[in-house]
Structure 1
Amino acid sequence: MTAKHFVLAAGGTGGHMVPAAALAAELTRRGHRVALITDPRGSRFPELFDGIQTHVLPAGRFQAKRPAGWLPAAREMWRGRALARQLYRTFKPAAVIGFGGYPAFPALLAAFAQDIPTAVHEQNAVLGRVNRLVAGQVQAIATSYDKTERLSSRFADKVHLVGNPVREAVLALRTRAYPLLEEDGIFRVLVTGGSQGASILSKVVPDGLAMLPVQFRRRLQVTHQARIEDIDAARAQYAEHQIAADLATYLPDMPEQLAWAHLVIGRAGASTIAELTAAGRPAILVPLPGATDDHQTANAREITRVGGARTIAQSEFTAVELAKQMQKLGLDPAALENAAGRAKSVGRPNAVGDLADLVESLDAPLVRLPVGAPAKPKAAFA
């Protein structure tokens, strides 16, 4: 296949950046050249985009409760669009792919102005605001769940269920067996609140684990990723309860931590769900209540429905409730291993390949696919 140039545009959170990085790696492996457009937050993930030229462009953020900031945001957005157009004149992309977040918006606007083929990828089970804004103009909408809320049926002809790409190191866990769990052996718990941590987990988890029967509690080995402002208090709680725990504000070896985990306690961000289902790890999920459009609750539904996770609303996430759910899961190794298999059953291990196939085909004839069909386009969208 002829080598092409592609621009990926992603907002500066891990949920947007990780799948963009996975696609960048796959397209590069196929011989293409990739450029990234992001914001200052996205430039803090350099390890994800080694060897990829990165452009930090202005992108205003429109906040409903701050109308006074709309005009400055519009100016920034328009300035980002102008800079993106300059980039496209020299880089000449075959297509521009947005991964959500406001930094993707000016990049896509510039592509529309220059008639460059476009697509968006939605990581969550609710179509994000920027992706909703551009859904009518892009050639393809790649989704991660079999049902995506806030996605109009008017766009059914260009929707492709591909899944949410994960890092190669996480995908490799799919071929590894669930870690052996003996009735009197070490029980490894991974606690993670995503790239920003989660204060509620640091406050509740140590006390919840302390309520477990003493024989179970002594088996625990906890790895806990916490916010910097919470880590000392959480460490003191674990020590007070005599629970073996390693705490850090960042876990660079997350795939290896996931490999050895018998149970994950965490938020329900898109990347977390994608990694749990790729690796096949059971979880207790506490969706972030303030997430836009409550998308984390929607993200958790599929894995919970099949029995791969238990979801607890943050308002109900107490030490007592956590201890109750832990005992139901942890005291039955066979049930835990079964839950791991159920989590894996809804994983989409071919996500990055299917997304790359779709992206490569954007400037070629594409076939009209039914909603949820694998991304193997061959003829034109309507």
Structure 2
Amino acid sequence: MTGANRHYVLAAGGTGGHLIPAFALATELERRGHHVALVTDERGAAIPGKPSFLPVHVLPAGRFGKNPLAWVKGAGAVLEGRKMALRLFETFEPSAVVGFGGYPALPALLASTSAGIPSLVHEQNAVLGRVNRMLGGRVQAIATAYPDIARLKPKYAEKVHLVGNPVRAEVLQLRQEPFPPLNEEGLLRVLVTGGSQGARVLSEIVPDGLAMLPPALRQRLQITQQCRAEDIDAVRERYRSHDIPAELGTYFEDMATRLADAHLFIGRAGASTIAELTAVGRPAILIPLPIATDDHQAANTRELTRAGGARMIRQERFTPKELAKQIQALAQHPQALANAAHAAWNCGRPNAVKDLADLVESFGGAEMMDVIRVGGEAAETSGRGALA
């Protein structure tokens, strides 16, 4: 293979959080003329949004939970997956293997190290995930989405590259659009989502919290909310009883458009969600998933809340009264909401997929590139006066 046309294997867990950045990288590498293959599990192979050109290889991957009795079975699955990955590498001849976390990425990355193939991992969250922690000493590079990553050993500092979290192209193209016009009489559009499966706590709390807002603010609300199918009728009745107009659905195909129209987001703090909020520049009230591994969703909010682009409420404190309080703090005055939007926008890393692709291309090609950008975003932020 020549340096101009190389092969890469991407390995990712079977959730959207792992696969969305993998899909984005695959698209960018294919655009640059390379051949890309994806390794995941059966769940990941069924995730929507996979580029049509991307072949998928399903490998067995064991999980290692708290029950030691399951470890033997898990180890057996990993070893079988490793053998299958080695056979794939013999025919595909990758220049590098890129892991995006999750147990389905483990067999391919173990195979790459045993075969002498360079490897790197991308961490989407502000806490280094279990698989990426296991492999930190074996890989040649660790790409991160945040400047501060918990559970990342200091001895790995030389191999860390800050790139950000790749987002969907249709979201990234909204970055230069201004924040939707807002004045003290106009509609205040609020977007509420709880991740791919929805979140019951949002259905239970958000309608009553919005109802507690001062009348002048409550009368301006226009809500779009994602709900679980089993909750949607009850949520619709709550909004009707509060006389708050709301569009409800279990899934919105045009989520990028709805995010573009929103003045305020309320929802979980997954890595992809925060990457899209900061790419577009939308203020948010974030309720981290309390059972997220290593409390990584709370860690994901740190940079955005410190910048003033979001408020974070722990789920145990997430009551209608507290929600109303935080909405008022953000949305009582249009300029305050616009300022928060600008702060969120400043946290965005719109070059994430390009920087990650540059790093990946440095394997098997030119000397490794350092894509940590020190001053790039400072120059960019000065060009968006619409939010100032």
TM-score by length of 1: 0.94
1:46 Cα offset (Å): 3.4
Higher alpha-carbon deviation: 343-352 or 233-242? 233-242
- Report the secondary structure of 1:112's partner residue: helix
1:295 Cα offset (Å): 0.6
After superposition, residues 1-382 of structure 1 pair within 5 angstroms as 2-64=4-66, 66-364=67-365, 366-367=367-368
1:223 Cα offset (Å): 1.0
Measured in 2, the distance between the counterparts of 1:37 and 1:162 equals 22
Is the CA contact (8 Å cut-off) linking 1:8 and 1:34 kept in structure 2?
yes
Measured in 1, the distance between the counterparts of 2:144 and 2:163 equals 6
For the structure 1 residues 363 and 92, does the alpha-carbon distance in structure 2 shift closer, same or farther, using more than 3 Å as the test? same
- Report the secondary structure of 1:47's partner residue: coil
Higher alpha-carbon deviation: 40-49 or 2-11? 40-49
1:210 Cα offset (Å): 1.1
For the structure 1 residues 370 and 185, does the alpha-carbon distance in structure 2 shift closer, same or farther, using more than 3 Å as the test? closer
Measured in 2, the distance between the counterparts of 1:179 and 1:119 equals 39
Measured in 2, the distance between the counterparts of 1:353 and 1:371 equals 12
CA deviations 1:181-203 (Å, max 9, x no partner) are 12111111000111221111111
- What residue identity is the alignment partner of 2:352? A
CA deviations 1:95-125 (Å, max 9, x no partner) are 1100000000011011112111100000000
Is the CA contact (8 Å cut-off) linking 1:354 and 1:374 kept in structure 2?
no
For the structure 1 residues 92 and 373, does the alpha-carbon distance in structure 2 shift closer, same or farther, using more than 3 Å as the test? farther
Higher alpha-carbon deviation: 127-136 or 10-19? 10-19
Higher alpha-carbon deviation: 344-353 or 50-59? 50-59
Measured in 2, the distance between the counterparts of 1:246 and 1:270 equals 25
CA deviations 1:59-97 (Å, max 9, x no partner) are 111101x22211111111111111111111111111110
Partner of 2:382: none
- What residue identity is the alignment partner of 2:259? L
- What residue identity is the alignment partner of 1:57? L
Measured in 2, the distance between the counterparts of 1:40 and 1:262 equals 37
1:340 Cα offset (Å): 0.3
1:3 Cα offset (Å): 1.0
1:229 Cα offset (Å): 2.8
1:372 Cα offset (Å): 6.9
For the structure 1 residues 190 and 346, does the alpha-carbon distance in structure 2 shift closer, same or farther, using more than 3 Å as the test? same
Moved over 3 A (4+): 364-375
Measured in 2, the distance between the counterparts of 1:260 and 1:55 equals 38
CA deviations 1:260-298 (Å, max 9, x no partner) are 000000111100111111110000011111111111111
User: Gaps (5+ residues) in structure 2?
Assistant: 377-388
1:364 Cα offset (Å): 3.6
CA deviations 1:207-256 (Å, max 9, x no partner) are 10111123322221111112233222222211221211111222221111
| Aligned-residue CA RMSD (Å) | 1.7
Measured in 2, the distance between the counterparts of 1:371 and 1:276 equals 21
Is the CA contact (8 Å cut-off) linking 2:358 and 2:369 kept in structure 1?
no
Measured in 1, the distance between the counterparts of 2:203 and 2:364 equals 48
1:47 Cα offset (Å): 2.4
- What residue identity is the alignment partner of 1:114? A
Higher alpha-carbon deviation: 180-189 or 40-49? 40-49
- Report the secondary structure of 2:184's partner residue: coil
- Report the secondary structure of 2:143's partner residue: strand
- What residue identity is the alignment partner of 2:55? Q
For the structure 1 residues 12 and 331, does the alpha-carbon distance in structure 2 shift closer, same or farther, using more than 3 Å as the test? same
For the structure 1 residues 370 and 94, does the alpha-carbon distance in structure 2 shift closer, same or farther, using more than 3 Å as the test? closer
Aligned residues: 374
Measured in 2, the distance between the counterparts of 1:189 and 1:138 equals 42
1:141 Cα offset (Å): 0.3
- Report the secondary structure of 2:175's partner residue: helix
- What residue identity is the alignment partner of 1:32? H
Measured in 2, the distance between the counterparts of 1:240 and 1:69 equals 49
TM-score by length of 2: 0.93
- Report the secondary structure of 1:60's partner residue: coil
Is the CA contact (8 Å cut-off) linking 1:159 and 1:372 kept in structure 2?
no
Identical-residue share of aligned pairs (%)? 60
- Report the secondary structure of 1:121's partner residue: strand
Measured in 1, the distance between the counterparts of 2:78 and 2:230 equals 33
- Report the secondary structure of 2:39's partner residue: strand
Measured in 2, the distance between the counterparts of 1:234 and 1:48 equals 32
